[in-house]
Amino acid sequence: MAVTAIKTKLRDDDTRRPPCARGTGRGYRSSHCAQCGLRTPLCLCAQLPHVETTTRVWFVMHWRESSKPSNTARLAMRLLSNSTCIERGRTLDSAGVVERTLEPLDPASCLLLYPSDDALPLDEVLSGERAAALNLIVPDGTWGQTRRWVRRETWLAPVRRVRLSRASHLPGYRLRHAAGPNLYSTFEATAIALSVIHGWALGDTLLTHFEQWQQRALASRSGGLACG
Ligand SMILES: [Zn+2]
């Protein structure tokens, strides 16, 4: 697939605040940036570009993730212009929102980023694809939450499942413990997948900002507030 031109323009006034990025607790909302999720004094948003891709990324976020400072899908949403976040699981109806939004998409254009036993390596799947815009569906939640969701949603059956090959040069996610080898945070998995689709220049851009964000999140956790 052709490498997509990456436009990295800064916007002073970002109104793309997804519902899932609002946080749920009153204390969380008042003390953390609604977009990057960092504590307000450490907010990185003014330094982040908006990265455009032809691939549309759909984050399906378990509602419990929305108020976790360690959530990484929120940062991916802030960086990726062509992305949408759908919250699920808060009420019975919110599960229906995911289905109503994603089921009408052409299954042939959709890829579910989920490393099940029947998932194919993404690069192999793409070798037969040309030019068509893709919809990349990225579950965001614990592995248990995601596993139950994928099993339950029968409308996902015709969607191809894809997995990633190991990318050894990743900085590594240090805010949560990985559930197993070769398992990445939502941000890292999304960045690698988009790199496979659009080239590593895109991945390098995303992962550079991820490391910036992670360092600030770790500083916040340890009580440090100094930032540039
Ligand atoms: Zn921010």
Q: Which residues contact 126 (CB under 8 A, 6 or more apart)?
A: 1, 196, 197
- Residue 221's pLDDT is 78
CA dist 121 and 161 (Å) reads 9
How close is the Cα of 192 to the center of ligand 1, in Å?
Answer: 23
How close is the Cα of 144 to the center of ligand 1, in Å?
Answer: 29
In percent, the amount of the chain with pLDDT more than 70 equals 73
- Residue 70's pLDDT is 86
How close is the Cα of 74 to the center of ligand 1, in Å?
Answer: 10
pTM of the model: 0.81
- Residue 90's pLDDT is 81
How close is the Cα of 28 to the center of ligand 1, in Å?
Answer: 13
State pLDDT tens for residues 55-81. Answer: 999 999 999 988 888 899 999 999 999
DSSP string, 137-160: EEEES-HHHHHHHHHH-GGGTTSE
Q: Report yes or no: 56 and 102 within 8 Å, Cβ to Cβ.
A: no
How many of the other CB atoms lie within 10 Å of CB of 189?
24
How close is the Cα of 123 to the center of ligand 1, in Å?
Answer: 33
How close is the Cα of 76 to the center of ligand 1, in Å?
Answer: 12
Cα–Cα nearest to 188, from 207, 216, 168, 174: 207
How close is the Cα of 218 to the center of ligand 1, in Å?
Answer: 15
State pLDDT tens for residues 13-53. Answer: 333 444 444 444 555 666 889 899 999 999 999 999 999 99
Q: Report yes or no: 83 and 59 within 8 Å, Cβ to Cβ.
A: yes
- Residue corresponding to tokens 């995911």: 98
How close is the Cα of 143 to the center of ligand 1, in Å?
Answer: 26
How close is the Cα of 128 to the center of ligand 1, in Å?
Answer: 39
Q: Report yes or no: 68 and 19 within 8 Å, Cβ to Cβ.
A: no
- What is the residue type of 39? R
Give Dmax over CA atoms of the chain in angstroms.
49
List, run by run, the mean pLDDT of 10-residue segments along the chain (228 residues).
Answer: 36 41 55 89 95 96 87 95 92 77 94 94 81 89 91 93 73 56 82 92 93 89 57
Q: Report yes or no: 47 and 212 within 8 Å, Cβ to Cβ.
A: yes
How close is the Cα of 72 to the center of ligand 1, in Å?
Answer: 12
What is the set of domains in the chain, with CATH numbers?
A: 51-164+181-221 (3.40.1280)
- What is the residue type of 113? L
Q: Report yes or no: 149 and 102 within 8 Å, Cβ to Cβ.
A: no
How many angstroms separate the Cα of 51 from the Cα of each of 43, 152, 202?
18, 33, 8
